[in-house]
Structure 1
């Protein structure tokens, strides 16, 4: 398919049938380029009515709502359209009979995303927006001229786009989910040769083993950026976990057939070092089970830090549009977890200030991948509480300044909380994890890993090594900078993930 698109003089991106208002929406990018080019240089003009030319509608009026609705069409989430865009020489966007230039369309989408992250572009908070898919396509498109080199470049290469492609492809829609590995064959070669005869479980299992083994070999044998490649291994493993699987797979093998349930803590972030500075390549162990089928287990050296004592009953979910729905969902989530803390208030706490500890946990000590201090986390948490109080219809309060900026901050925090639960450990630590963790689950901190894991022991013990099933990665306030591995009282253990 990639060769076909490259050979074509142009590609038409067809968003679907037109409705009564799509013609005006499709005309909008052309109008902006012609009458309002300064908007593309300064997106803040979008919300300043005095800057709007008379030839263009003011933000929120005229064709703007219709254009926003175009961005919710299924085309943006389909897997195979990525190759259409990346390999095409020229692109025209069409909706029914109305058309516009791809570059004009992209420029306007980026402008809207820049200025109005929280005002309706994303259908459900935490899901990929049209702008994110388009940005992904454009980044791949920018290297089209060297696409052949990228395709044959091994994913153990430090410059490979494979990790980025895998992360984005997981959210895309496909009829056959083997295409999550096959559809990028002419852009980034994830699999030697597409073969639809391979059962999907086997494909994902063999790919996981091959991916980790090749990177481990590169770390041990070649002069390379070992830290980058080691982190690449961990990000791949964090994509797995029983909480993120639908197919029957070893718990450490990513299931590419389902979309992300939560925003990954590690995505575009290097602010965690729970396992300390050591660099250790990870290699699966292969053996045959009693039936003769391959069995792969993942050996890890870990410190078993603590166990889960109590878990919040509800994860943060958002199924409706609007700032009111966001505030209400977040208010209910926080109230439930404050009640959880109250029920366990007699437990010994490692934190000198509970309010600060809650703030650091709720914010995951980062904003858009950048580490924030305890003071910064507390400030953001306090502003969040004030914003929720202000949005409570039963409260009579003055509006806060920079409400748009505050709403963006709220979305940034909620993007991590969505789909996650708050929990308390037996030693009194606070953490965030995905739905599916339970009382008694163990926090394991692998040596050299950015994030801890939540694991659950199995009944099997072989060669005196404990076997666990991985549930998900986790954030635990107080151990994200290597504290577990500098604690001499904690003994390291060798475990196997199965």
Structure 2
């Protein structure tokens, strides 16, 4: 639903007449009110606000000024937004000069998102919490902020000059859902027009400081590597120390937040700040790409979960390349991986964070029910992939890659991977449900490919299984009565769950040869600690063994989805008026049978496929 603009102001800034200028851009106008008559004939000499320009050489005067600022902050009236950021405008914070523990003071001004007239920067940081237990002075009023933002502003503000910066916590009225929705809709312009984006990772420690020093020296010497250069790097950090420092850095909260994705992808230039240390984003990515983590034998969420920090950076690297070429991003697989592995204060942000840089057409609206939002996204992408030739041509998608994206929607969904408080169709992904198992349907390697605008990354994560082959048959959404959305597709129902156990059940002698292939014939085995984490084991009616997400039960059906790489578990739910079977999608699964997992069953007799409907 579009955001209503203020009736007192023009929305469009596409004009040249000085008298038609938006009142918010006139000299002296700030963010307090648009009703005051004092702005009708404002003159620069009437502005008697103190100027905090050059540093004060007197220590005593600096102390007196800080005491006055502390007193003003403690007794200041709470800040209130009295205007709405609508139309093409957004707020900028002017951070006044200061150093050390001096209170942070700022002023709010208006800027145009379509034709900005000032150079400004944007701040990308982590809220960590919604509790605002610190405060700054904003237009002379007390403005509560989170401690992490307060520390970021202390580090980034300049000692002798103003800093023009966009900060979501200050520049958007977070309590006004309509304003938030509208500002999200112009976020692409805000970040793409900024001269740079400052990433704040938090306070520095000894490892992060040395890591930044290491990255800078590595970048300066990589064009002419020598033994002396390598020795100087090793003196900063040894290989073990380097691995530990990178791992520690990637575990910082910033790398898990959803909003940092568009903030970096849309930036012209990005600087990473960790305390007082600064490096460029490209240097950080190069360092992470060239340093390999040691392999672990057991389950490790830092490497075995989708959306792990390195994989997030790999996806983000491709997004940056696409944005710099002026291309929208299209891969629903990547969006689902990022959203479900990210944290957000508001669940709507799992979707709206990608608005403006993808083919998502949903207009941000924070009053919209989340279930409706998730259904619409799935509906939009299925129809785009199936019927929109422009979608495929945009990134050169082959039929195989189109099938891969469609199936990623189903493998990201399933009743066992949805929050119970949502009433979603079983085939629609719950974008808020975090990954917690090593996936069977794709790989989790980082696969950082720099400089390419094509979906090379997606091709590199496809798993080694080919249960459903590459041929996609029926795959269409059926819009039923009472808002029901069902998915009609082709599948081979080849077996059923007979027994479920937390430990591997023994196979029957008759099926031993078929259910226990040699380890070399399958890329996954039942005794793999990586893949059996979070899964139960089952025995089928035909005597095969397998594993699937906890929650399956006897009577559930095993199905090969045509075009899918791994089988799925379905739960029967009757038939429709045409006699077609209705099923709930539960989860993906693994069956210890080369005939099933390698696609031999499909190749032998693909006519076994029949139409099913997922509800």
TM-score, with length taken from structure 2:
0.58
Structure 1's 209 and 102: CA in aligned 2 closer, same or farther, altered over 3 A? closer
Q: CA deviation at 1:34?
A: 4.5
Structure 1's 255 and 181: CA in aligned 2 closer, same or farther, altered over 3 A? same
**2:475 aligned with 1:282:** yes
- The whole-number CA distance in structure 2 between the counterparts of 1:310 and 1:215 is 38
Structure 1's 171 and 283: CA in aligned 2 closer, same or farther, altered over 3 A? same
**2:88 aligned with 1:88:** no
> Are the equivalent residues in 2 in contact too, given 1:455–1:471 (CA < 8 A)?
yes
**2:438 aligned with 1:259:** no
Please name the residue that 2:196 is paired with. 10
Q: CA deviation at 1:163?
A: 2.9
- The whole-number CA distance in structure 2 between the counterparts of 1:489 and 1:213 is 25
**2:588 aligned with 1:467:** no
**2:236 aligned with 1:56:** yes
- Structure 1 unaligned runs (5+)? 152-159, 314-335, 366-380, 386-412
Q: CA deviation at 1:353?
A: 8.0
TM-score, with length taken from structure 1:
0.71
Please name the residue that 2:550 is paired with. 435
> Are the equivalent residues in 1 in contact too, given 2:385–2:391 (CA < 8 A)?
no
> Are the equivalent residues in 2 in contact too, given 1:230–1:280 (CA < 8 A)?
no
- The whole-number CA distance in structure 2 between the counterparts of 1:125 and 1:270 is 15
> Are the equivalent residues in 2 in contact too, given 1:219–1:230 (CA < 8 A)?
no
Deviation readout 1:357-405 (Å, 9 max, x if unpaired)? 56655x338xxxxxxxxxxxxxxx9xxx9xxxxxxxxxxxxxxxxxxxx
Please name the residue that 2:424 is paired with. 249
Structure 1's 119 and 86: CA in aligned 2 closer, same or farther, altered over 3 A? farther
> Are the equivalent residues in 1 in contact too, given 2:473–2:489 (CA < 8 A)?
no
**2:370 aligned with 1:200:** yes
> Are the equivalent residues in 1 in contact too, given 2:556–2:569 (CA < 8 A)?
yes
> Are the equivalent residues in 1 in contact too, given 2:214–2:233 (CA < 8 A)?
no
- 1:175 match: secondary structure: coil
Q: For residues 113-124 of structure 1, what are the structure 2 equivalents within 5 Å?
A: 114=292, 116-118=294-296, 124=302
> Are the equivalent residues in 2 in contact too, given 1:126–1:418 (CA < 8 A)?
no
Deviation readout 1:33-62 (Å, 9 max, x if unpaired)? 3567788x9xxx9xxxx967563232234x
Please name the residue that 1:304 is paired with. 493
Q: Which of residues 274, 287, 290 in structure 2 aligns to 1:108?
A: 287
Q: For residues 121-200 of structure 1, what are the structure 2 equivalents within 5 Å?
A: 124-127=302-305, 128-147=307-326, 149-150=327-328, 160-200=330-370
Structure 1's 119 and 66: CA in aligned 2 closer, same or farther, altered over 3 A? farther
- 2:476 match: secondary structure: coil
> Are the equivalent residues in 2 in contact too, given 1:441–1:455 (CA < 8 A)?
yes
- The whole-number CA distance in structure 2 between the counterparts of 1:481 and 1:107 is 36
Q: CA deviation at 1:489?
A: 11
- 2:510 match: secondary structure: coil
- The whole-number CA distance in structure 2 between the counterparts of 1:162 and 1:442 is 27
Q: CA deviation at 1:482?
A: 3.6
- The whole-number CA distance in structure 2 between the counterparts of 1:24 and 1:250 is 50
Relative contact order (C-alpha < 8 Å, sep 6+): which is higher? 1
- The whole-number CA distance in structure 2 between the counterparts of 1:463 and 1:353 is 36
Structure 1's 92 and 248: CA in aligned 2 closer, same or farther, altered over 3 A? same
- The whole-number CA distance in structure 1 between the counterparts of 2:404 and 2:237 is 47
- The whole-number CA distance in structure 2 between the counterparts of 1:7 and 1:56 is 37
Q: CA deviation at 1:301?
A: 3.2
**2:568 aligned with 1:445:** no
Q: How many residues align?
A: 401
Q: For residues 216-231 of structure 1, what are the structure 2 equivalents within 5 Å?
A: 216-218=386-388, 225-231=398-404
Please name the residue that 2:408 is paired with. 235
Please name the residue that 2:212 is paired with. 26
- The whole-number CA distance in structure 2 between the counterparts of 1:208 and 1:216 is 12
Q: Which of residues 60, 70, 77 in structure 1 aligns to 2:256?
A: 77
- Structure 2 unaligned runs (5+)? 1-186, 443-460
Please name the residue that 2:278 is paired with. 99
- The whole-number CA distance in structure 2 between the counterparts of 1:111 and 1:220 is 36
Q: CA deviation at 1:278?
A: 3.6
Q: For residues 294-373 of structure 1, what are the structure 2 equivalents within 5 Å?
A: 294-313=483-502, 336-337=503-504, 340-341=505-506, 345-349=507-511, 351=513, 354=516, 356-357=517-518, 360=521, 363-364=523-524
Q: CA deviation at 1:350?
A: 5.5
Structure 1's 418 and 32: CA in aligned 2 closer, same or farther, altered over 3 A? farther
- The whole-number CA distance in structure 2 between the counterparts of 1:76 and 1:141 is 16
Q: CA deviation at 1:233?
A: 1.6
- 2:564 match: secondary structure: coil
Higher helix share: 1
